[in-house]
Structure formats: structure tokens, C-alpha cells
A and B are shown apart, each in its own frame.
Chain A
Amino acid sequence: MNDSEKLPENSLDSSLEEKENLEKKCQEYLDGWRRAKADYANLKRETEEREKEMVSYAQIRLFYDFLRIYNHFKRALSYMKKEDIEKEWVSGMSQIEKQFFDFFREHHIEAIPSEGTKFDPAFHEAVGKEKVDGVLSGDIIREVEGGYQYKGKTFLPSKVIVAE
């Protein structure tokens, strides 16, 4: 190659630089593509896990709505007088209540113990406080609305009155 055929040095340098940049970009795109494929595979896996969670969440939502109605039923029963206990309709209501308990047991729902226990925000929500002689501060005097756990996790805390 004679002098007239040689490429100018700076042209060669810039071509080499461009080549390097392009190689870098290619590697970047390849890495990005690999990552995207990996993310997709992970997403598939996570989607399956999430579907299971969604089913569980949907169940909890259903229980939540159902238990609000059960709490009304409990409230109704609390108005029963002593003299009513022998009546047939009361006996029937008790049987219905038993069906509720069977339902809870089958679906791993447990009532949260409240009255007489120590207030714990992990299980209880305080809706009022009262001064009661002989009761320690922080103890639960009364349950206003029942709370429940599903598979050991609180999803509806008990609403309680706490001793001051």
C-alpha cells in the first residue's frame, strides 16, 4: 500500500472507536434481552404464586363480608332473655349458630378471644375505654364485635372496650 492509498490515521481511529461503541451497545442489548427473558420466566412463576394469593385474598374478602353479617346475628342473640331460652325458636337459632361454627371450622376461621384478655393491637381494635373497679388497665372489658383469624392470621380484629 502506498501513501496515497493509506487511510488517514484519525479516520481509522474514529472507525475503531465507533466499532467499540457499537460492540458495547450490542452487548448492552444482549444483556437487556437476556434480562427480559429471565424476567419473563420469573414473571410466569410469580404469576402462578400470585394467583394462589389472589384466591386466598378473594376468600378472605368473602369471609370478611360474611362475618360482618354473622356479627349482626350474634348481636341479635345477645338480646335473648333468660325466659326465652326454653322456646323452640331459640333452640332453632342455636342450631343455626352451630352451623356457623361448623362453617368456621371447615374454613380454618378462628374467633379471637377478647373479654378478659389483655388488649393487643395485633388482634384487637379499641373502640372505647372505661374505668371499671377491680379491672386492670389494658384489660378488655367487653367485646363489641367479634374478631377472626384465617389460618392464624388476623383479618378482622375484634372491636373491644378497654379498661382505663
Chain B
Amino acid sequence: MPKILGIDLGTTNSVVAVIEGGSPKVLENKEGSRLTPSVVAISKAGERLVGLLAKRQSVTNPENTVSSIKRLIGRRSSDEEVEKDMKIMSYKIISSGAGVKVVMGGKEHTPQEISAMILQKLKADAEEKLGEKIEEAVITVPAYFDDSQRQATKDAGEIAGLKVRRIINEPTAAALAYGFNKKKGEQIAVYDLGGGTFDISILDVSLDTVEVKATNGDTHLGGDDFDQKILDWIITQFKKENGIDLSRDPLALQRLKEAAERAKIELSTTQETEINQPFITSDAAGPKHLLIKLTRSLLEELVGDLVARTIEPCRKSLADAGMKMEDIDEVVMVGGMTRMPLVQKIVEEFFKKKPNLSVNPDEVVAIGAAVQAGVLQGEIKDVLLLDVIPLTLGLETLGGIATPIISRNTTVPTSKSQIFSTASDSQTSVEVHVIQGEREMASDNKSLGRFILSGIPPAQRGTPQIEVTFDIDANGILNASAKDKATGKEQKITITASSGLSKEEIEKMKQDAELHKEEDHKRKELIELRNQADAVIYQTEKFLKEQGEKISVEIRKEVEDSLANLKKVKDAEDAPAIESALLALNTLIMKAGQALHEQGTPSGEEKSDSSSEKVHEGEYKDVNDNDKDKDAKEEEK
């Protein structure tokens, strides 16, 4: 079945996605990039260029290079936007009847024809990438596009040889990418801050539709303006220090523009960056260099007013939709600029909600278009829409550690098994304590349920093989079971989805896990060390009992002293001391074993665990009265 393309036909850049294996996937263009500049040109040689190649030659051929054609498509020549563009664009825009045309390569073209050229390249590159013909597409448009603009976009698709199955709104596509079309009765705000424009849309998700209730924005506010602020600051600083105005040096300016954009991007993930441009210019005295630090806080000062400019349209759109901030259930971020921490902070402060950022904001609209394409094609059916589990499911193991069985974000239905064993000799039952959460210690996670598997034949610790299986069905119901592989005895428990946590609790758990990550990790390491120490103490005592008389008194004394030392430090909070004592004892055990070998005596028993599967040894406590008393005492501590 031929694929349907999902196309985000943007003002500055376009993105294409398809459904593959039930999930949307963004396609790279011929040049290897996921973004294709929405630029078309006729070169001096008469060759048509589209995308990156057209952009690269724009400086030498501005009058024949057409960009931002989306600003003109479907508009009348009398529109304010068109009149503005006629003054600022490098190419000629002329009135043609009620509409407009652009002049490129000496010929007149409608905006639909120019857009069709872009769509043709997107189609051709997608066909090459996928190895199959593409005949249909879903194309997105801004929510404020009127009928004429939508029809013109559809016409562009037809000219490009694409049957346009649907024209959908960009904010709707963004909501689809997050699956919010399933959130019936919810209101969603889509905050779109891209390279050149800002749009805010309020959506209402009802039974079978996603309706745009209101839209507002600023058609000339975007990432380019942020770059300009940084550029102006750099020029000012350099002039202060060197007395040279870099804005008069086109080549220096071009380098600084790129450096400014890079600095802006870096400051989304760091607190400080350095703009380092050696040999930026020269004068009579020789070459001049630029080396300047820019902090995030300074950047936020420089661009604060730009970010603030986005708030009033948000306020207006809420008012137009007849809603208050509290009515908004989800906020979706679109456009590269939404990666800026200040932008995220302002949006969260305004809507009093954490915005959704997990889908790449540069690609979220194309992904949503692909989702729509998938629905139309039947690739995405409600009955086949799959969920993921929000938090890790695991069980409690020796020392109170949380051992994960199914990681968070695993798609369900799914099933995972792991083999465990006993912690003590002759242990005849094990307790399976099912927990949910991201913390390293079981007690810090949510308890979902517990059960006991008994009737395990008495054996040396680590010998029994208990297979624990977690099986989650599509409804989120967990069936946890434990089976003794030797006897076939099995016990299980069923945990319904409602036994888990609410959305807010889930979010809190994730945040807590992040907050306590380091201390949890240290605690877990300490407990694992203690478990290891217990195992070595057990092995050493066994070895001394069985082989002690066969080794020399000196070596035996050394082993016993080292064993005593390990027992002493094991329960302290000093991980390095336990590690050191472990290493010392292991070394001595090896020495003793070596001595036995040299005497020609078998060095000890063979490893009892002959399973080929990875066995987690000693990870259960025997649940009997003595242990319960011991546990109670430990809890009291």
C-alpha cells in the first residue's frame, strides 16, 4: 500500500514524515537533512534549484531566489501582508488579477506554483528514501489560513502531482503528534515559536473532532529576532573594545550571525558560552580577534522583551476562546525557539502548567501530519493504538533494592521474565513484592502487591531457580507470577491499572527520582556491596569448614582475620572500607586456593548454579517468623 506523506510546509523550512511500522518517522532529504529550506531559485544558468541549494546561492542571485512564499499563497494583492512583503522581499512581487505573482528567472509564477516546486522536491526525495512512489499527502497550514489560502495550498499539492487527502491545521497536527486527539473534553494550547513567526492556538478536543477555538500571534516574531539581539550586543561590545564597527564588514557579519545562533542554541543547555572568532577583521594595526563570554542570564536580559511579546497574544486567544488559564489541560510547544529555558518558563508561568516538550518541536507538526495520514490510510487504528507504561515495574530484592523487570516507556502488551534464587540455605519460600517507580530502593516506590511462593525444595542458597514473569496486557493489567522451575509450583497475582498512581503522582515520582538520583545510587551501591560481602563471607566460611584443615596455619589465620575484618565493616556506612575488605579477603581466598592446588588437593566445591541463564543469586529473604521479627526490629531502627 503506497504511503501517504505528512508534510509541514513551513514559511522558512519544510519537514516530511511517514508512518513506518505504526510510528511516524521524519525523512531526510537528498542532502541528508531533516529540514528542507522553503526556498526556490532559478540560477544564472537557468537551472531550477530548490531547498538548500537554492539558499546557498541566494546572495549572488537575490532577485531570482524566492523565499517565504507561504506569506503570499492564497492572498490578495491588497492584503497588508502582501504590501509589506512587496517592500522587503528581494524578488519582484506583482499584482495579477485579485491575487499576486512572483517573478523568477524572467517568468511569472503564482505562489501555488512556487509551493508546488518545493512539494515536488519533498516528494522526489521521499520517494528516493523510501524506494516507492508517493501519490498522496496530508499538508498542514496555519490555523488562521482562510479558505482561499487553504485551497491554494491544496492546488500546490495537485500541481506537484500529489493528491492532497487532507489539509489540517498546524496546531491540530501538533496535538495529534502527542496523541491528544484522544483526550476528549480537554482544551489544549499550542504555542508555536519558530524561525520567523509566532502562533498561539486554543484547541477543543470533542468526541470526534479537534476544533480550533481561537488563534492569535505575531507574523514577524521568531528565532531570527533573537539572533539579531545577540548579534547587536556582540557588535556593540566589539566596538567598545576595539573601536571597529563590525556591522560594516559583510563577511565578519556573516560569521557573527552564525556564531550568535550557535551561542543561543548552546545556552539552552549550558549557563555560559564563549563566542570565539579569531581574525574576525583587521585594520592598519593588523588582525583583530573576538573572544567574548555570554551567559544565559545576560541572554535572557537581551531577549526578555521578545519573549514577553508572546504573552499578550496568549491572553487574547484565551479571551477569544472564552476560556481562562485554568481551563487549559495541556500545553504543546512547537518550533525550535521553544527549547529556550526562558520561553518554557514564561509559558509554564502563564498557563500554570508544564508544557509538553518530548516530541522534537521542529518536527512535531510533520509528525502529526503523518499520524493523520496514517489514520486515513488505516495504518493507525484506535484498536491498535498502543500505550506505554509510565513507570518502571519491578520487585524488591535482597537489601530492599528495587530490581526493574519492565522499564518505563515500554510499549504494552508485553511480557518479561527473569530468574531469581534464594538468599539462604534451605530457604523454602520466597516473597514477591511488586513495586512501581523509578527509585533505587523498594521502600521509596509504590507497592502494588505481594505474594508468596512456597514449597521450594530445601537447597543451598543460589541453587533454586525461580522464574518471575511480569505480563501486562493492552489494558494495563499486570499479571505477576513466580514459578519454581524444579517443581513447577507457581503462584501469581493480578494487579489492575487502578492499583497504580495518578498522573500527578507519576510526574512527582519521576521528579523525585531525578532529585534523589545520586543519593539513591550511592545507597544502592552500598547495599549491593553488603550483599556481595554476605556472599563472600558465606563462601569463605564454607571453604574454611570444608578445606580449612588442608591449608597452612598461617594462611588460615590470614583468611580468618580478613574474614573477621569484613564482618566488622560490612554493616557500616563506609563503602570504600567494605570494598577494601572484600578485595583483601578475595585475594586471600585465591591465595589459599592456589596453595591447595599446589598441594594437589581439589580446591573446593564446584559452582552449584549450572543454569545457562543469568541468575540473580540470593535476592530473596525467607519469609518465616524469625525473619519477620528481625524485619520488625530493623524497621524500628
User: For chain A, what secondary structure do more than half of its interface residues adopt (helix, strand, loop), or is it mixed?
Assistant: mixed
> Which residue from A39, A78, A121, A153 sits with its C-beta under 8 Å from B22?
A39
User: B residues within 8 A CB of A159?
Assistant: 254
Minimal Cβ-Cβ distance residue in B for A142: B251
Cβ contacts A102-130/B at 8 Å (1 or 0 each): 00000000000000000101101111110
Q: Are A138 and B32 in contact (CB under 8 A)?
A: no
Cα of A162 to Cα of B57 in the assembled complex, Å: 10
The B-contacting residues of A in range 70-92, CB under 8 angstroms, are: 72, 75-76, 78-79
> A67 in the interface, Cβ–Cβ < 8 Å?
no
| B21 with A127: CB separation less than 8 A | no
B21: chain A residues at CB < 8 Å are 39-40, 42-43
Q: For A157, what are the chain B residues with a Cβ–Cβ distance below 8 Å?
A: 56
B214 to chain A, nearest CB (A): 39
**Does B53 lie within 8 Å of A121, measured CB to CB?**
yes
Given contacts A76-B279, A126-B57, A129-B59, contact A121 B250 (CB under 8 A): no
Partner of A72, one of B22, B59, B279: B279
The number of A-B residue pairs with CB atoms under 8 Å apart is: 64
Chain B residue nearest in CB terms to A69: B276
Contact B44 A128 (CB under 8 A): no
Chain A CB within 8 A of B43 CB: yes
Q: From known contacts A121-B49, A121-B53, infer whether A75 and B60 are also in contact, taking CB-CB under 8 Å.
A: no
Distance of A72 Cα from B277 Cα, bound (Å): 8
Q: How far is the CA of A75 from the CA of B290 in the complex (A)?
A: 14
Q: Are A75 and B254 in contact (CB under 8 A)?
A: no
Of B45, B56, B278, chain A has the most CB atoms within 10 Å of the CB of: B56
B278/A126 in contact, CB under 8 A:
no
What is the minimal beta-carbon distance from A41 to any residue of chain B, in angstroms? Answer: 10
- Return chain B residues, CB-CB under 8 Å to A46: 20
Set of chain A residues within 8 Å of B49, measured between Cβ atoms: 121
Q: B88 on the interface (CB 8 Å rule)?
A: no
**Size class of B's contact patch?**
20 to 34
Residue of B nearest to A39 (CB): B21
Contact of A144 among B45, B56, B251 (CB under 8 A): B251
Residue B160, interface by CB 8 Å: no
CA separation between A125 and B61, bound complex, in Å? 12
**B279 to A, closest residue via Cβ:** A75
A57 vs B250: C-alpha distance when bound (angstroms): 31
Distance of A138 from chain B, by nearest CB (Å) = 6
Task: Produce 1/0 per residue, B45-71, CB < 8 A to A.
Answer: 100010011101111110000000000
Q: Which residues of B contact A129 (CB under 8 A)?
A: 59-60
Q: What residues of chain A lie closer than 8 Å to B277, measured between beta carbons?
A: 72
B284 within 8 Å of A (CB atoms): no
With CB as the reference atom, state the residue of chain B lying closest to A138: B44
User: A72 to B58, alpha carbons, bound, how many Å?
Assistant: 25
Closest to B22 in A: A39
Asked if A122 and B53 sit within 8 Å, CB to CB, the answer is yes
A39-B22, A42-B21, A76-B279 known; A128-B57 Cβ under 8 A? no
Establish whether residues A119 and B60, one from each chain, have CB atoms under 8 Å apart when the complex forms: yes
A121 touches B44 (CB 8 A): no
Is B287 an interface residue when CB atoms closer than 8 A count as contact?
yes
Among B54, B278, B286, B381, the residue within 8 A (CB) of A121 is B54
Interface residues of A in 14-59 (CB under 8 A from B): 32, 36, 39-40, 42-43, 46
CB distance from A81 to the nearest CB of B (A): 10
Docked pose: A126 CA to B251 CA in angstroms: 11
Name the CB-closest residue of A to B51.
Answer: A121
B538-559: which have CB < 8 Å to A? Answer: none
B285 within 8 A of partner (CB):
no
Given contacts A43-B21, A76-B278, A79-B287, contact A121 B57 (CB under 8 A): yes
Chain B contacts for A36, CB-based, 8 A: 22, 384
A149 at the interface (CB under 8 A from B): no
- Let me know if B60 and A162 touch, CB within 8 A: yes
The answer to whether B56 touches A128, judged by C-beta atoms less than 8 angstroms apart, is no
What B residues does A119 contact at CB under 8 A? 57, 60
B59 touches A137 (CB 8 A): no
Cβ proximity bits B252-264 to A, threshold 8 Å, 1 near / 0 not: 0010000000000
The docked-state distance in angstroms from the alpha carbon of A53 to that of B45 is 35
Question: How far, in angstroms, from A121 to B32 measured CA to CA in the complex?
Answer: 15
Chain B contact residues, CB within 8 Å of chain A:
20-22, 32, 43-45, 49, 52-54, 56-61, 250-251, 254, 277-279, 282, 286-287, 381, 384
Q: A39-B22, A128-B59, A162-B60 are in contact. List 7 more A-B contacts (CB 8 A).
A: A36-B22, A76-B278, A119-B60, A121-B49, A126-B61, A127-B250, A128-B251
Q: Give A contacts to B, CB under 8 Å.
A: 32, 36, 39-40, 42-43, 46, 72, 75-76, 78-79, 119, 121-122, 124-129, 137-138, 144, 153, 155, 157, 159, 162, 164
Question: Can you report 28 A-B residue pairs in the complex whose CB atoms are below 8 A from each other?
Answer: A36-B384, A39-B20, A39-B21, A39-B22, A40-B21, A42-B21, A43-B21, A75-B278, A75-B279, A76-B278, A76-B279, A79-B279, A119-B57, A121-B43, A121-B52, A124-B56, A126-B58, A126-B59, A126-B60, A127-B250, A128-B59, A129-B59, A129-B60, A144-B251, A144-B254, A157-B56, A162-B59, A162-B60
